[in-house]
């Protein structure tokens, strides 16, 4: 009778672990991503069979969605991340809710930048830019603003260009620079030819740019990493 009771208890423990551990770990990773990105809404789904191996930081798949996630200095209105065959540092995760990816076979990230968030980024990070308004279309990005030249002269400027990837950097590259609706030459090129947008090294995962797609009102950035 004693052995049977022990067996029943063990079965209950195994079943409870399989049911509860993924939920517990998802909550911890969710908090870690909120700490990392400042997002106000994160969902995390973690899978591993058997689930008890999660305690060693092993996961078959980690799927994360974060709204209003700030990476480097820019806010992404939405980020979706999928990590396959991932290994997390469980010490950092459990002690400080820090998501530290040690390895993953595949990483895929889709990050969306809304035009209002890009305008806010320009206002906050580009010296001299004030009251920027951004319009994104499939063909180009137009940023209109007031530019303080030397701290004395305020000019109405308009930048037209694209978001591009350059190694581990994503940047806004100016193709046309207008002052009071008139094209300029070296003035625009010297001041605002390229504006850094995000440094991919600031992400907790090693990724490269696969594609950047401009649509009406937003830019969607596709990032990926494959270990094989």
Instruction: Output b/e per residue, 174-202; b: 16+ Cβ within 10 A.
Output: beebbeeeeebeeebeebbeebbbbebee
Q: Does the pLDDT of residue 1 top 60, yes or no? A: no
Q: Which 3 state secondary structure label does DSSP give 86?
A: strand
- Domain termination residue (choose one: 98, 114, 130): 114
Q: Are residues 120 and 110 in the same domain?
A: no
d(CA 219, CA 115): 8
Judge if pTM exceeds 0.75: yes
- Count of structural domains within the chain: 2
Query: Which among 66, 65, 9 is positioned nearest to 37, based on CA atoms?
Result: 66
CA R_g for the chain:
23
Omega within 30 of 0 (cis) for the link into 207: no
Determine, yes or no, domain membership for 215. no
What pLDDT shows up at residue 188? Answer: 46
Band (98; pLDDT cuts 50, 70, 90): confident
Q: Are residues 160 and 139 in the same domain?
A: yes
Per-residue model confidence as pLDDT tens digits over 48-86 = 988 888 989 999 999 999 999 998 889 999 999 999 999
**Which H or E run contains 108?**
strand 101-114
Determine, yes or no, domain membership for 149. yes
Q: Are residues 135 and 181 in the same domain?
A: yes
Q: Are residues 136 and 44 in the same domain?
A: no
Q: Are residues 91 and 129 in the same domain?
A: no
Looking at residues 3-11, what average pLDDT do you find?
63
Q: Are 213 and 199 in contact (CB under 8 A)?
A: no
Question: pLDDT above 70 covers what percent of the chain?
Answer: 85
Determine, yes or no, domain membership for 224. no
**Which H or E run contains 178?**
strand 169-179
Query: Which among 197, 170, 200, 4 is positioned nearest to 107, based on CA atoms?
Result: 200
CB atoms closer than 10 angstroms to residue 83: 24
Of 94-108, 131-145, 211-225, the least confident: 94-108
What pLDDT shows up at residue 163? Answer: 95
What pLDDT shows up at residue 96? Answer: 74
Q: Which 3 state secondary structure label does DSSP give 216?
A: coil
- Domain termination residue (choose one: 114, 132, 149): 114
Band (189; pLDDT cuts 50, 70, 90): very low
Band (110; pLDDT cuts 50, 70, 90): very high
What pLDDT shows up at residue 100? Answer: 87
Q: Are residues 36 and 53 in the same domain?
A: yes
Residue-number span of the structural domain to which 172 is assigned: 115-202
Q: Are 191 and 176 in contact (CB under 8 A)?
A: no
Q: Are residues 35 and 91 in the same domain?
A: yes
**Which H or E run contains 3?**
helix 2-37
Q: Are residues 57 and 126 in the same domain?
A: no
């Amino acid at each position: 009778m004693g052995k049977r009771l022990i067996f029943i208890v063990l079965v209950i423990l195994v079943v409870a672990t399989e049911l509860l551990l993924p939920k517990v770990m998802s909550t911890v990773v969710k908090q870690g991503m909120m700490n990392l990105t400042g997002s106000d809404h994160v969902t995390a789904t973690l899978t591993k069979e058997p689930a008890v191996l999660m305690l060693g930081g092993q996961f078959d798949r980690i799927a994360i969605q974060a709204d209003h996630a700030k990476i480097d200095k820019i806010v992404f209105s939405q980020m979706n991340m999928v990590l396959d065959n991932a290994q997390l540092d469980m010490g950092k995760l459990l002690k400080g809710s820090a998501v530290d990816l040690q390895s993953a076979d595949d990483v895929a990230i889709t990050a969306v930048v809304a035009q209002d968030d890009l305008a806010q980024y320009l206002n906050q990070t580009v010296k001299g830019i004030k009251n920027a308004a951004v319009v994104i279309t499939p063909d180009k990005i137009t940023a209109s603003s007031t530019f303080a030249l030397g701290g004395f002269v305020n000019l109405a400027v308009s930048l037209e260009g694209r978001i591009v990837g350059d190694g581990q950097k994503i940047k806004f590259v100016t193709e046309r620079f207008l002052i009071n609706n008139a094209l300029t030459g070296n003035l625009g090129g010297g001041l605002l030819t390229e504006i850094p947008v995000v440094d991919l090294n600031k992400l907790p995962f090693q990724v490269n740019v696969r594609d950047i797609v401009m649509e009406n009102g937003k830019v969607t950035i596709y990032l990926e990493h494959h270990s094989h």
